[in-house]
Each structure stands twice: as C-alpha cells, then as structure tokens.
Structure 1
C-alpha cells in the first residue's frame, strides 16, 4: 500500500517528462521538447538520440526515460539503463530521478527500495522537486529507509517552497496529524489551501473537511461544499462522497436526497474496493427515506454525471 501511494505520485511526475530539464539549452533540445509536447515521440526520440550520442547529459537522461516509458522507441529497460547511467555520471538530476523509479519498480533491475532512495536523494540534493517529494514520501512511510517524519517534513518543505502542490498537500497532512512537526490545524489549512488553489484535488477535499468540522478556521459549510465540489469535479472519490453527505442534511446546500444519492454513488464507485462496502451503508440507509422513483432518478443522474466527467452535475 505504501509503495502504491508513492507510485501514484511517480506516475504524475513521469507524465511531465520535459519538466525535468528546465529551459532548453540548445535548439535541437528545444525542437525535441516541442515534438514531445505535440505527441510526436518518434521525432523527439530521433532528435534526442543525436544529442545523447554526442554526450549531452540532458538528452541522455531524456532518451533513457523514453526507453523506460516506451515513447517514440520500443520499451527497452537495458537501453534505458545505459543512457540513464551515462547521464547520471554527468550529474544529471533528471536521470537520477528516473533511475530511482527504475529501481522502485524493478524495471530491468531487481526491485530495490534502498537503491531507489539513493538515486532519488542524489536528484533531491540538486533541487529536483519531484525527487524531493519522493524522498519525503519514502521517509514518511519508511520505504527503503528508517521511517523519519522530521526528515519527511524537511524534504516536503523544500519541494513545497518550489510551488509543488503534492508537497504542499503532504506538508499540510503532516501538520494536521502532527507528524514531524507539532500538530497545527491552522498551518495544515494554510498548506492545503496553497495546493487546493492550484487545483490539487486531494488538498481540496481535505480543505473541505477542515471547513466542515471547523478545524483551523471557523466551521463553514458553504466553504466545505465549495471545496468538496471542486474536488468532486476532478474525480476525487472523497470529495464526491463528502459532497453527497452534505446534501443529506442540507449543510451548505439545500437538502436533496436525489443529489446526495447521486454523489455518494459516484464516490463509492471511485473509492478503493476495500472501502466500498462500508461506504455503501449510509447510502443504503438513505434509500429508506427515498421513493423508488427518486432512487432511479439518482442512478440516472449518476450515469450522466460520469459520462460528462463530473462536470455540471
């Protein structure tokens, strides 16, 4: 479970490959970036390979990453490792980051959390914000290293200071639960808000919860609904289910059993399978206060909402 949580954030990072290189330092590299952004991975790989063969560390790291992902080239971990290691020898933080992922996932090498941590730390110490998040997450969960909340906070603070929303969310969580720092709901809310205002769905649902129960600020159901809805529209199961719960008693919204059932149903469908049975109990209880027609209407609305990707529901 801990590793899966880390992989979730790793996949988010890997989806923004060229975020690892900063500004292009040569025209061919800039051309490769444009090709990649246009989903012309074959052209990007061709341009990068020429640069990589001439010893460009950034290009070596990027072509290695493309071999990991199988974009523009056949997926080939042996080739990926060759190029990533060449780039790492030149101190490229993007290559160090990707090597961390290779070891974390056991891609072409034995799965090794300790080795993953080693490469992530190398990148993190150079200021790579994505690596800083992963180092912090590994300290937080004791993956490849002895669990150390204070170290986790340290790395989250570094990445959060660079505006990284995942780090801001995780830092907020540390303050909410007193992990590595004194428990401080106001400080938790501050970091959740920073991430939420940048569109982080997890932060939005957590901020909504704090407003709902009055932690870190005065209880405010309308604010809670606002943030739950923003999270729900992004497909966040917690936001969806919590928004449905607000409709049951008319907290921050007009009481509406149909909309409550709709959002709770959607949230349950998107929730972890291990939690679905427990989450279904309040919805099933709600059905005792609804007519068969209302239940059918809620189910139809849920289908339409899902088809519209949770917008305008």
Structure 2
C-alpha cells in the first residue's frame, strides 16, 4: 500500500495525523510479522507476568532484590504494551494512520517508561552493590521503606521532564511529510518531519538523553566497578562465582537495554539511519522484555524453585 505524502507547503498540524510506516517496505512478510510479534507479545505478557506474580506470592522471594525484579517485570509489561498492540493492529488492518494526539501520547509514555527503566536498573545495581560490598549493613540500608522510596522515585522521576520534552517536540510545525519510518512514535523520526531548524530541539534531546540514560549507566558502571573490585578480593573461588552469578542476570539486561538505547539516541544521525534506528529500537522495546524472564530465571535457583511451586499448585 502506498501512502500519499502531504505537500511541503501545507502544514501537517491541520491534518492532525501521521502514518506509521513500520514494516510496510516488506509487504510479502506482513502476516508472518503479525504472527511473530503476536507470539512475542504473548510470551512477554506470560513471562513477565509470572515473574511479577511469584515475587508477590512466594515467601522466599520477599527480599529487596526480588521486590525490584517484580517492579521491573511489571514495567516491561507496560513498556511493551505501549508499542506492540499498535504495531499488531497496523499489520492486521494495513491502516497505519495515527492521530497527532495519539502519537504524542505514545511518545510520552515510551519516554516516561524508558526513563523509569533506566532509573530502576540503576537502583537494582545499587542493591547488588550494597548486598555484596556491605552485607552486614544490607538489611538496614535496604529496608522496605527505602526500597519503596527508590521504586517510587524511579517511576515518577522522569514524568515532568518527559512531558515537557514531548510538548516541545509536538509544538513544532510538520511540513516535509506525514510518514514516520518507524513502528512507533519515536523522537528521531518525528524530528525529521519538522519544518525549519531543529538544532535546539536536537540539543534538548541529547541533554535529556545524557540525564536519563548516560548518568544512570555511569552509576551502574560505578556500582559494578566496586563489586568487581570487592569480589576479586574474596579468597574462595566458590564465593567469587556465587557473587558474580547474582549480578550476571542484571548485567545482561543492562547491556541489552543501555547498549541499544545509547546507540539510538546519542550516535550521530545520518540521512539513511531510519532502518538502523528501527532495528536498534526493537532491542530495547521488544527483545529486552522478551528475554528478561529467561535471563532472571535460568540462572536463579530461588526463581526456579518458586516457579516449580507455582506450577505444582
């Protein structure tokens, strides 16, 4: 299906809609992609929903680490539900239009939940740092009140800034085209449709990305730097292996999420980067939520035991 672009001299804000191109460039794969992404979405809901459930009902998992993991799994369900249902609808109906308001709402939700994920991953790394480097003070430092405060701060910390950034981007005029070469309303493809000079807007995106992506990532690196330094001093090889195993799952998720997010938002943009941005976005919006339950369960004996008890019941 070909979509008619709005002539450059007309202002897109009068039409109040965009076209999400997603994977329209491969028309022969539309039904295959619909089936694939539907299976992925169901797996994400079941996997993360199960992790969230066992962290709430299993007495053995009532610790700060699993409290954060439960919140992280719930976040992944919310995060993927912002983008995948819309993409599945587009693949099913082949009607890819999205209103300006819906596009802005989708972008705002993605940005807010993305900021929450960055903060929550940083909080989880701090939890592992305290558990390994200060085990005697761990129950005191990471008490329930502190855990609730850290999670609440992670969920609400980015809301004002991301609402402001979304408002700033959608206050621009769009005249070049109404076709977004992406599967959701993301910042880079939206900025390419704007009229006039977008330098200030792009600089604001970089500033926000540094605040909400780079700073949490550096805090995670600092935490793991301390953890590795402490673990290497342990006299027992078994103790070192056990300490590293408690961090390996979290570290894998950090690499998947932050690696793709940093490359997407902080790398220099080129004229033909839409395809690369689309592929990279799949990693932090779909691949990470899909593999999160597997990463946290396959090498975690407590989670495996909780799953066995749940399924036995």
Instruction: Please classify the TM superposition score into its range, dividing by the shorter chain length.
Output: under 0.3
Structure number having the greater helix percentage: 2
**Which is bigger in relative contact order (C-alpha 8 A, separation at least 6)?**
2
Report which of the two structures shows the higher radius of gyration computed on alpha carbons: 1
